[in-house]
Amino acid sequence: MRNLYFSFLCLVLFSGFVATPSLLAADGSKSSLKNTPVEQARRYEAQKNYQQSADMYLKTAQKLSPPDSELWRVKAAEMTWLAGNLDQALSIIQSTDQSQLGNIMRARLNIVAARIARYRHDYAEVSQRLKFTQAGLPRSMQREILALQKEADSKNGVMTRPVDHVKQLMAQYGRERDSNVNDPLWNQLMLLPTQALSRWLGEESSPIEHGWVELAYIAKTASARGLNNALLRWEQSYRNHPAYPDRVDSLRQEERTAPVTSDLSRIAVLLPTSGPLAHLSEVVLDGVMAAKYHISSHSPQVRIYDTAGHEHDIEQLYQQAVADGADMVLGPMDKKQVDQLGQAVLSVPLLSLNYGNQADLYNPNLYEFALLPEDEARLAARKMAADGLTQVATITPNSRWGKRLRRAFVEEAREQQLQVVASATFESSNRHYSDVIKKAFKVSKKGAAVQVDGIFLAATPKQARLFKPLLRFHYLKSVPVYATSHVFSGAPDTSQDRDVNGILFTEIPWLLRGSGKTSGQSKQPFPDELDAL
């Protein structure tokens, strides 16, 4: 009886959204109901005399022809269900020609059948009855279908992923701006594990879906100190999103528990200070400490955590840093460790010093900053293509570092439809670069036989200062040279830099280093050191 009472309440609510079927004759006018007991059926329904109402709706159907007759049979089935006459309701359903029904009426009929199956604990039949198109159905009907299907899946042992359930809610409520209406979606999003939200963010999705998921991720992971900044970033991307501004404002009111400030008081650094990569960590730490002592009297505290030996539990080290009061975490460098943290709950921002291997992994609190020179080589190839070049050449050292850069450049050049028509390699210990150029470009007294639109150069500052004048000398003066940031020392020297004027190189490392008092005070890793990465 309890199940019947619950279903009765559902149907009463449902009936408020779905009107009684109207009847149209073949000519489009309302068909005459004078000779049918439909008005009597409606009076019985209003009086909650459901069995009498069902009988009158059936008599109405018997006096009409399809498809009109089938519409009133649906009403009769609904009334017999409410009357508790399940056998008669099922008989009406089975004898109704569903091909004569539209989507909404067909759904109403099958929902009654699903309710009967649920009451009889036949959950396989519940699932079977709910296999119909839900497009265009009223929202109240979709909610009941979802509830029935979820219960049936649970009883049938079907493990529906929580994310799939929320995606169904997304389709129903995702575009609703009223927070009272979209509450079911928001509440279910907040019940999802943070890792599930992170994986979802890495999938292809609509701006509305992505905005909801990212906002939920922020709500679940942002610290009190970082919440407002995270919400500001979200607002910049989703000004027209249904969650803006109501849901965002409520987050600010409900979840902010401490004053928000952009100042950092504690920074944790996750680097391998022991082991084979310790010398590279020293380079990074030199820069960090140089900046710390020149910022001001409000410089943050820096605490260093050794990541060596934490290949499989880097998340534990991160959580330890947060527990120690870190407002931001810098590092790690290891790709696998970056991947691990990318899947973790990051309550404070993490600036990694390398890219992870999982390119599709998304975590709003993870900022990847790569120290890899290969990225600069790829950028050089993209810049050449953007500048309209078609035939290019490479000049790289005959070392592990040089080979890595050349490989990265050539791979990207191929993607950008660039043709590499000449390649020159040189020994770092040999300063006779003139022969290298003449051989690669087939230089004679008449000029360079190999014609190129641009040259990619991987070299140290000293090497670049030698190569650029030699290229001019060997009839390649007008050919633009693209390079990585390694051609510049970071410390401006007017007299020596004159020889590298005109070389185009990636400038971000030096913009970051040259914007304050610490410019030039920390060293950059050069080729041999970078081989370790």
All domains in the chain, ordered by first residue? 2-160 (1.25.40.10), 170-255 (no CATH), 266-368 (3.40.50.2300), 373-528 (3.40.50.2300)
Tell me the CA end-to-end span of the chain in Å, nearest whole number. 70
User: Would you state the pLDDT for residue 89?
Assistant: 92
Strands (E), 89-146: none
DSSP secondary structure code for residue 19 in this structure? P
Beta pairing class for 366-368 and 481-483? unpaired
Written as six digits, the tokens of 418 are 């660039």
| Per-residue confidence in pLDDT tens, the chain, 533 aa | 334 333 433 433 333 333 444 443 323 334 455 566 888 888 888 888 999 999 999 998 998 888 888 999 999 999 999 999 999 999 999 999 999 988 889 999 999 999 999 889 898 898 889 887 765 667 667 777 877 877 787 777 655 556 777 887 788 778 888 877 777 788 778 877 777 787 788 778 889 999 999 999 888 887 777 788 889 889 988 989 999 998 888 888 865 444 334 456 889 999 999 988 888 788 788 778 877 766 655 678 899 999 998 888 899 999 899 888 888 899 998 889 998 998 887 878 898 888 777 755 667 778 877 656 788 898 899 889 888 999 999 999 998 889 989 999 999 999 899 999 999 999 988 777 888 898 889 888 777 888 899 999 999 888 988 898 888 887 788 899 999 888 876 566 666 667 677 788 775 443 344 444 444 444 444 444 444 33
User: Per the confidence metrics, is the pTM higher than 0.85?
Assistant: no
CB 341 within 8 A of CB 178: no
User: Would you state the pLDDT for residue 252?
Assistant: 85
CB 76 within 8 A of CB 54: yes
Give the phi and the psi of residue 492 in degrees, each rounded to 5.
-55, 135
Task: For 337-361, give one letter per residue: b (16+ CB within 10 A) or e.
Answer: bbbbbbbbbbbbbbebbbbbeeeeb
How far is the C-alpha of 444 from the C-alpha of 62, rounded, in Å? 102
User: Would you state the pLDDT for residue 51?
Assistant: 94
User: Would you state the pLDDT for residue 495?
Assistant: 65
User: Would you state the pLDDT for residue 79?
Assistant: 94
Written as six digits, the tokens of 342 are 């990318």
Establish whether the linkage from the previous residue to 492 is cis, with ω within 30° of 0. no
How far is the C-alpha of 103 from the C-alpha of 21, rounded, in Å? 13
Written as six digits, the tokens of 354 are 């390398």
